[in-house]
Amino acid sequence: MTDDDSLEIPGLGIRIVFRKRAAETDGELLEYEVIGRPKGLPAQAHLHPWQTERHEVLGGSLLVKMNGANRVLGVGEDVEIPAGAGHRHYAAGEGDAHVLVQLRPALRTEQMLERLAELDATGKIARGGYPKPAAAARMILDFPDEGRASAPLIAMHRGLARAIVTVAEPHSEYVFVDEWDVDAPPEAVFPLIADATTYPSWWKPVYIDVESDGEPALGVESRQHFQGRLPYTLKTRSTITTYDPPRQVGADVIGDLRGKGLWTLTPTESGTHVRFDWSVFADKQLLHVLTPVLRPAFRWNHAWAIARAKEGLEPAARARAAG
């Protein structure tokens, strides 16, 4: 085990030791040990919308609250928590708990845990084990599928998070959510969205050129050159951080723009519902300087680019489905 395989998060009362990372399992499994007495965020009532979670006690004892029942697990005992089930878990009795956690699929939980370690190291975890407001809001927006409070009114929580982020990061950050329906099955739509090298063929005239290091997979990098209606072109590098065909693909982006994009495909009776979550900072020097003045123009530019995606994606997907 190397130092790169562990995360110290004293503000949350825990230490994480990775056993199997997402890249080692093609995103099917994330496996890690949790040692300590979780407090604050990891001990609150929460759920994982898309992931099945298994806990096996290796040392100490673990209290699990789920479906109105409390269960104390001792060494060698385990519990499986279905996707979407609200629950709490924390060390029972005295001393630390040592628990093996398995999450299927992995999604971006690894990056979420690393973010928490970074927040703790930079003083952004408050007393009691909760991220400070701006950091917590950013977590809610960046990791909507990896875990969230099991309380109702999730949409309200996200709306409040966006408002907090807007106040805390007022100058260059943009959050976009675009949704539309495509008359083609997810199996035909997903390859076009996941493989950025296809963009110049159907997302016209936005994408000028795209190069990739390989077929879409976790960790694969691609380089994009694109334009909008405003008088400049942009260059970015994207690394795939979520890959769950044909449901989700997401990437971290750096370059003239810096941010995170997540595509989510949901099957419908007539084809596919497409959702694109895009949280981005304008890092190109001119854009950064002019952002407070040109914010409406940037949003108009994004709307124009998405309109071109809507025009091109359906016919391309239908042609692919037809073979």
Domain boundary among 167, 184, 201: 167
Query: What Rg value do the Cα atoms of the chain yield, rounded?
Result: 21
- What tens digit of pLDDT does each residue of 285-303 get? 445 444 444 556 677 888 9
- What tens digit of pLDDT does each residue of 4-18 get? 688 999 999 999 999
Residue 82 and residue 52 in contact, taking contact as beta carbons nearer than 8 Å: yes
Are 63 and 42 in the same domain?
A: yes
Q: What single-letter DSSP state applies at residue 306?
A: H
4 or 221, which is more confident? 221
What DSSP element (H or E) covers 302? helix 285-322
- Predicted structure pTM score: 0.54
Are 117 and 187 in the same domain?
A: no
Domain boundary among 167, 198, 232: 167
- Residues 243-280, buried b or exposed e (16+ Cβ, 10 A)? bbbbbbbbbbbeebbbbbbbbbbeeeeebbbbebbbbb
Instruction: Categorize the per-residue pLDDT at 1 as very low, low, confident or very high, splitting at 50, 70 and 90.
Output: very low
Distances (CA, A) of 155 to 37, 149, 170, 193: 31, 12, 22, 26
- CB neighbour list of residue 213: distance below 8 Å, 6 or more residues apart: 220, 221, 222
CATH of the domain at 134: 2.60.120.10
